[in-house]
């Protein structure tokens, strides 16, 4: 199949494109930096700068992963606009392409995030949980609604609400491992906030699972079945790196440094992959200690 991928040169996209090529598919990758994308993607990938550039290629499926990082820096008005526009505009371009093709793609698998639910404290969070209305939820809700417009063209739409993606070479570990290795790791605030996580191998397999299951649509929580609190994550990462984790970051300091964005660091959701497990999806990395040991090469 020819599969259009936005964000294909990103942390998830690189591994996804490699897996698709292994299965005999052709990735059609949208990337603002064609040169960089060609350096990190398989040679079979076709790279162009706009979604509309692939109209003549007639993609048979679309995987929409593009979006400005949300957990970087303060949420100024300019940053908030960039976060929103980077998600909504390219998703709108994808939906427009679906509507214009004589043979629309069979499926659109579109990213969302755990932020859809907002702060949920310690309660279990499934796809049926009512969200807390805050900035992250508003962005994710609009993002998902834009993707669902592809249904009007007869496209099956599946939404992945993605947790923290873990693997070597990028993602959140690329940011937190260096200070941990220097012995500067510690919990954020009181450490009680939940951090739903997923190994990159499992999120790629989820996408392939949804690609092949023609009866699956709607939202799916994309996280491992054993979420942990920030304090538990901190201790597990310390064990994996054999480093101490005794330097907490006080909540007040994070609020002063990051303003509204600090909510992402100090609040969370105990997100569970209820629908994925009901459909029989099997995780390769279900527990955090095992996942971190696999990433850092421990047996």
Tell me the pLDDT tens digit for each residue of 1-48.
999 999 999 999 999 999 999 999 999 999 888 888 889 999 999 999
Q: Quick count: other Cβ atoms within 10 Å of Cβ 145?
A: 12
Are the C-beta atoms of 161 and 112 separated by less than 8 Å? yes
The whole-angstrom separation of Cα 233 and Cα 229 is 6
Average pLDDT, the chain: 93
Q: How many CA atoms lie within 13 A of 218 on its CB side?
A: 8
**Who has greater pLDDT, 60 or 183?**
60
pTM of the model: 0.94
pLDDT of residue 299: 38
Which among 144, 32, 141 has a CA at the least distance from the CA of 91? 144
Between the CA of residue 48 and those of 18, 51, 62, 109, 174, what are the distances in Å? 17, 8, 15, 20, 27
Domains within the chain, CATH numbers bracketed: 2-293 (3.40.50.720)
pLDDT of residue 70: 83
Q: Provide the token pair at 137.
A: 């939820």
pLDDT of residue 138: 95
């Amino acid at each position: 199949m020819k599969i259009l991928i936005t964000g294909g040169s990103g942390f998830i996209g690189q591994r996804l494109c490699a897996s698709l090529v292994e299965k005999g598919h052709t990735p059609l990758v949208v990337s603002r930096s064609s040169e960089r994308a060609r350096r990190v993607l398989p040679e079979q990938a076709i790279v162009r700068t706009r979604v509309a550039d692939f109209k003549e290629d007639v993609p048979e499926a679309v995987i929409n992963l593009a979006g400005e990082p949300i957990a970087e820096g303060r949420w100024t008005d300019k940053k908030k606009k960039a976060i929103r526009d980077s998600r909504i505009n390219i998703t709108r371009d994808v939906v427009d392409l679906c509507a214009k093709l004589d043979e629309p793609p069979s499926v659109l698998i579109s990213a969302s995030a755990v932020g859809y639910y907002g702060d949920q404290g310690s309660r279990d969070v499934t796809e049926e949980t009512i969200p807390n209305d805050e900035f992250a939820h508003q962005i994710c809700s609009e993002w998902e609604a834009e993707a669902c417009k592809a249904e009007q063209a007869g496209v099956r739409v599946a939404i992945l609400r993605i947790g923290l993606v873990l693997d070597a070479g990028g993602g959140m570990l690329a940011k937190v491992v260096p200070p941990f290795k220097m012995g500067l790791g510690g919990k954020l605030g009181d450490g009680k906030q939940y951090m739903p996580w997923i190994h990159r191998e499992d999120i790629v397999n989820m996408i392939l699972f949804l690609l092949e299951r023609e009866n699956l649509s709607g939202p799916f929580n994309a996280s491992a079945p054993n979420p942990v609190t920030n304090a538990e994550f901190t201790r597990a990462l310390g064990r994996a790196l054999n480093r101490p984790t005794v330097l907490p970051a006080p909540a007040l300091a994070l609020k002063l440094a990051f303003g509204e964005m600090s909510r992402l660091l100090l609040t969370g959701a105990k997100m569970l992959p209820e629908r994925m497990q009901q459909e029989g999806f099997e995780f390769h990395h279900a527990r955090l200690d095992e996942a971190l040991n696999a990433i850092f090469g421990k047996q």
